[in-house]
Structure 1
Amino acid sequence: MSSKDFADYLGQRVARLGLSKSEVARRADISRQTWYRLLSAEVTDAKLSTMARLAEALETTPLHLLSIYFGEETTGDVVHLHAPANNHRRAQA
């Protein structure tokens, strides 16, 4: 994926969550300038700490954001925070 694809994902995620852009910046504790640069695909070297805080604000995992940021293909099986968890029990011997 390109930085444009990453920016598109961010915009879609914000819309899906029904948050304002300012609210995401506040939740992630990043400047609005950095946030708008990410949304307009102008950032080529985001800090890991920024990505982790942004993932939390967007209720997803840092690994998912990083995989999109670095252009790796993703499956449709994305884990978002606050989603119902699958409770798997170990088989007892």
Structure 2
Amino acid sequence: MELFAANLRKRAGELGLSNAEVARRAGLSERRYGNYVSGRREPDLATLVRIASVLATTPNDLLTGQAPKEAPADLARQRAMAALAALRSDDLERVVVMVEALAANRA
């Protein structure tokens, strides 16, 4: 359980997410998620899959810690994808407009 808890903390840190934010995005109470992060409990399969999705990784990576080392650009993309997954459709549309403007400015 300690490896899983350490992997949760590490991955959330890589993405710049607090425990409270991971819990919120996964639809869990902070207390329940805190039990996973502290190693006191392990999630069921459905919960593990939701947490992995929020952390933009796989359940296997969280359980084994065998994820490959990522380049900074890859990590930035994963952080963006994790943040985008938490947005409502109207906010997502605003982000798309901003990203398209940035891309057009680079061209």
What is aligned with 1:58?
55
Deviation at 1:34, TM superposition (A): 1.4
Q: What is the aligned-residue RMSD (CA, Å)?
A: 2.3
What is aligned with 1:6?
4
* TM-score between both structures, scaled by the size of structure 2: 0.58
User: Which 4+ runs in 1 deviate beyond 2 A?
Assistant: 62-65, 73-78
Work out the CA distance in 2 between the residues paired with 1:63 and 1:9.
Answer: 11
* Structure 1, unpaired ranges of 5+: 84-93
Helix, strand or coil for the counterpart of 1:12? helix
Does structure 1 residue 41 correspond to structure 2 residue 39? yes
Helix, strand or coil for the counterpart of 2:56? coil
* TM-score between both structures, scaled by the size of structure 1: 0.65
**Percent of residue pairs identical:** 34
Work out the CA distance in 1 between the residues paired with 2:11 and 2:69.
Answer: 15
* Structure 2, unpaired ranges of 5+: 79-107
* Residues matched between the structures, number: 73
Higher helix share: 2
Work out the CA distance in 1 between the residues paired with 2:22 and 2:55.
Answer: 7
Q: 1:31 aligns with which of 5, 29, 32?
A: 29
Deviation at 1:32, TM superposition (A): 1.1
Which AA in structure 2 matches 1:27? R
Does structure 1 residue 74 correspond to structure 2 residue 71? no
Contact 2:6-2:37 within 8 A present in 1 as well: yes
